[in-house]
């Protein structure tokens, strides 16, 4: 299942069970929608631990990272990655892509709280 909630200040992308055949395309389309957001936001991604994308999917995702990098750096205030296997090393990989704060956790509530702190920091 892939679900994008792009309303509000925290944009949430979910990709987890129950998985379906069209999930990879739905995920890549959700990335495109995130890349088109025209206002400041914080991003929370919630992944269920399923294996990676297909080779063409990985390539499309990499091209998205490259194509939207400047826009994301300008508009995304922070990224929280929620995964069952989240680790500090995972966040380090994504910090190489973008200049905004990135952190990884196994707990969605912790992610939401940390994003809220970053949003408050930008508002204050």
Give the 3-state secondary structure of 1-44.
Answer: CEEEECCCCEEEEEECCCCCCCHHHHHHHHHHHHHCCCCCEEEE
| pLDDT over 90 percentage in the chain | 81
- What does the alpha-carbon distance between residue 38 and residue 87 come to, in Å, rounded to a whole number? 30
- What does the alpha-carbon distance between residue 89 and residue 70 come to, in Å, rounded to a whole number? 23
> How would residue 124 be classed by pLDDT, with cut points 50, 70 and 90?
low
Judge if pTM exceeds 0.75. Answer: yes
- Residue 101 preceded by cis peptide, ω within 30: no
Instruction: Write the pLDDT tens digit of every residue in 10-43.
Output: 999 999 888 888 999 999 999 999 999 999 999 9
- Return the domain boundaries, the chain: 2-123
Neighbouring residues of 61: CB distance < 8 A, sequence distance ≥ 6: 28, 31, 53
Mean pLDDT of the chain: 94
């Amino acid at each position: 299942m892939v679900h994008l909630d792009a309303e509000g200040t925290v944009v949430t992308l979910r990709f987890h069970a129950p998985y379906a055949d069209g999930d990879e395309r739905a995920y890549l389309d959700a990335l495109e929608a995130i890349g088109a957001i025209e206002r400041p936001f914080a991003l929370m991604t919630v992944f269920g631990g399923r294996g990676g994308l297909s080779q063409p999917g990985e390539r499309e995702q990499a091209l998205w990272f490259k194509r939207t990098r400047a826009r994301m750096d300008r508009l995304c205030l922070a990224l929280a990655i929620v995964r069952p296997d989240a680790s500090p090393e995972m966040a380090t990989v994504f910090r190489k892509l973008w200049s905004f704060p990135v952190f990884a956790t196994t707990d969605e509530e912790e992610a939401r709280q940390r994003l809220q702190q970053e949003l408050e920091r930008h508002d204050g």
